[in-house]
A and B are shown apart, each in its own frame.
Chain A
Amino acid sequence: MSQAIQSEGPAAEFTRPLLLTPGADRAGWLAAKAGRAALLLVAGASVVAVLLIFFFIAREAIPFFQERGLGEAASSTHWYPEDATAPQFGMLALIYGSVSVTVGALILAVPLGILAAVVLSDIVPFAVRQCVKPVIELLAAIPSVAFGVFAVKVLAPLMQERLGLPTGTNALNASFVLALMATPTIVSVAEDSIWAVGRELREASYACGATRAETLLKVVLPAAHNGVIAAIVLGMMRAIGETMLVWMASGNACQVPAPWWDLSQSVRTLTATVAGEMGETARGSLHYHSLFAVALVLLVFSLGLNLLTERLLSKARKSAGAHA
């Protein structure tokens, strides 16, 4: 058979050359090198920029640590930087404030956000999801000042009247409003990843006789855990870095409340301290440098949190048995 074809005439010709010409080969090699160099440059610039920011903050913070050391900042809760005779720079209360408000926000926002994401992706009809999703994404764009005004004008009086708290601007209020603000971000990112799990896996689970709840809990969420954790990290970063809102909602009392878990008392965060005090300090004063030290603590803190979640994430990934 094949002989017959050969004898009838030549096979179809390869009209395009299969080998590169030396010139084209060299050009391709050069283009690859140049592209790689350009990418490296951009990547390097970004790393340099991050380092520069870090360096700048650290440089302005160093005079503070030189003069006061680390001990006071890490052990004392007294933050009286402007005191004329004996200024005090204890950051413990500020750290406590940041942590309590962030943790409080996450406790509220994470279950709510993931629940909403699941509802959107798996429970409501597709058309509803298509309408609601953009609206939620729009919510993520509301400026934090708006939330702050809501916290002061609506939520604070409400808490005073309904819960009988003496003050409405407190850690609970800040946590709640931060949660409100972070939830759309969490919903949006988590929903994307839950949606991306795809019909095939859901079908596989249903075909084993699983109910919807079992499918969601045992298959969909574990399969989407990367995106879900990314959503939580994003929400957390939004919460811990938020300034304007906590400055308005948290009351800014520089204290560690008497039972430390009492969220109904006012607290002050690291961010609020920097933002609130930077404008009016005399440049170059100890107070000025101390604010950079606070910023440095915040930076180290969020970096540490990021690394921690990254670690947890890889652990979760391993236990889920995705890629060995």
Chain B
Amino acid sequence: MITRGLAVTLAAAFVVLGVTAYWAQAQTTRPSMPPAAAASAPAPKAAPMDKAALQIDGSTTVGPIAVEFVEAFKKLHPDVTITCKQTGSGDGAAALIDGRCQIATMSRFMKPEEFKSAVEKGEMPVAHAIAMDGVCMIVHPSNPVKALTIAQVHDIYTGKIANWKELGGMDAPIVVVSRDTSSGTYETFTHFVMGKDKLFDKVEYVNANPQAHARVSTTAGAIGYVGLGFVDTKVKALPIDGVMPSRKTVQAGTYPMTRPLFLFTNGYPKLGSVEHAFCTFYLTEQGQKIIEAKGFVPVTSY
């Protein structure tokens, strides 16, 4: 009993230490931030190009693009220090609003609540759409089903269609895979497919595109959805309403499940600032190459 008590005590002491350390750190880093949160006007934080520090936080979908951007960006501006976190769109928005980062990467547009709390703090989030992403329905390569309609996908995800043979495939139950409900991909998917209806309760959830890919590529009866960049030969992407997802159809907007990916800043960045350079990097040739390499579709093309 005594040793257990001691162990609990020690563990808790470590927790206390950790909390205080974190708190102390938070205390020391706060003042070094631009005092924009205190200012009532949405004054863009115009950091000079050299020796500036940039914090990026947000979506795990846009994150890989942002990381590559940072790599390339550092070569152009070696004095700039950039930290890039991938915590999730919601965390990114919260960090931007709290002033913990200057750029939030988001795979969805800001929600009204988030806008509201930003405005209450006197901030004005500005969106920069940097790339397009197509949400593709994928099945196992052995699946004989050739095409689906939005209505069919809808019925699969509400449980109305439970067996592939109803779609002219094999006699096997459909294993329905979805991304987690708070991912941008999920939101795009439900926006285009589900409308007001809910996913039924047998739907399985995975928390990243690679995992959705892994589940579908290893499960004969599975259907799932991933971003265009994650479609390869191990899974079969199905045309939706007769349109095959591809760079062309996504860019042209003919593929029905297409979404933009965003960077958010507080106010439009001042010309010549690091933020401005970073937020317009997607327009450069190098930026576009990165976006393509990551499997997304650039909004402009040379």
Contact = CB atoms under 8 A, between A and B. Distances in A.
Q: Taking the complex as a whole, does A directly touch B, i.e. does some CB pair lie under 8 Å apart?
A: yes
Interface of A: 42-43, 45-50, 52-53, 77-78, 80-85, 93, 152-153, 156-157, 160, 166-169, 230, 247-248, 251-255, 265-266, 268, 276-285, 287
A280 B89 contact: yes
Contacts of A77: 201
A255 B201 contact: yes
A166 B173 contact: yes
B9 interface: yes
B132 interface: no
B181 A277 contact: yes
Contacts of B117: 283-284
B119 to A, nearest CB: 14
Interface in B47-71: 60
B196 A80 contact: no
Given A78-B201, A80-B198, A251-B204, A277 B215 contact: no
A279 B9 contact: no
11 contacts: A49-B16, A49-B19, A160-B218, A166-B175, A167-B222, A265-B202, A276-B181, A277-B182, A279-B89, A279-B91, A283-B117
B16 A152 contact: no
B166 interface: no
B173 A282 contact: no
Interface string B6-30: 0011111101100100000000000
B161 interface: no
Contacts, number: 130
B211 interface: yes
Contacts of A266: 202, 204
Contacts of A169: 204, 215
Contacts of A166: 172-173, 175, 219, 221
B114 interface: yes
A252 B204 contact: yes
B219 A83 contact: no
Interface residues of B, number: 48
A281 B196 contact: no
Contact of A152 (B9, B181, B184, B214): B214
Contacts of A253: 201-205
A282 B111 contact: yes
Interface string B181-206: 11110000000000010100111111
B134 interface: no
Interface of B: 4-5, 8-13, 15-16, 19, 60, 87-91, 93-94, 111, 113-114, 117, 172-173, 175, 180-184, 196, 198, 201-207, 211, 214-215, 218-222
A266 B205 CA distance: 9
B79 to A, nearest CB: 32
Given A50-B8, A153-B214, 10 more contacts: A42-B9, A81-B181, A84-B196, A168-B219, A230-B4, A252-B205, A254-B203, A255-B201, A276-B207, A280-B180
B93 A282 contact: yes
A285 B82 CA distance: 30
A256 to B, nearest CB: 8
A285 B90 CA distance: 11
B208 to A, nearest CB: 10
Contacts of A43: 5, 9
A48 to B, nearest CB: 8
A252 B180 contact: yes
Nearest to B16: A49
A77 B211 CA distance: 25
Contact of B207 (A47, A83, A247, A255): A247
Contact of A284 (B113, B182, B196): B113
B180 A276 contact: yes
